[in-house]
Amino acid sequence: MSRWSVDIESDPSHVIASSEIEIQSDMTYEEKPIRILTREVKELRNKKIPLVKVLWNRHGIEEATWEPEDSMRQQYLTLFNGKIFGDENP
């Protein structure tokens, strides 16, 4: 062993089985939302923008993203069925 070599241990938690993700020909994959964690209204000078915090599959809560409620409602209407924090979803 030379003085420049380093022992590297592999971490199995960093390996993703290819059967779990369907990779497209352009090397992308589809993200699917699991649920809405919370809702918020961002107030700008002259308008209000309703936002939802979305939990995506294959990601933890710390990687949830804020998305415009209108676009999420158009693409994923089923996410808006049921109750969030005790109030009815519109």
Higher pLDDT, 81 or 67: 67
Closest CA to 51 of 36, 62, 32, 63: 36
Average pLDDT, the chain: 80
Domain ranges of the chain: 30-85
When pLDDT is averaged across residues 61-75 and rounded to a whole number, the result is: 93
Q: Does residue 85 register a pLDDT over 90?
A: no
Q: What is the pTM of this model?
A: 0.62
pLDDT in tens, 11-48: 776 665 555 677 888 888 788 899 999 999 999 999 99
Partners of residue 33 on adjacent β-strands: 56
Both tokens of 13, joined, read 């938690």
Looking at CATH, the fold of the domain delimited by 30-85 is given as OB fold (Dihydrolipoamide Acetyltransferase, E2P) (2.40.50)
- Give the model's pLDDT for residue 84: 57
Both tokens of 61, joined, read 């809560």
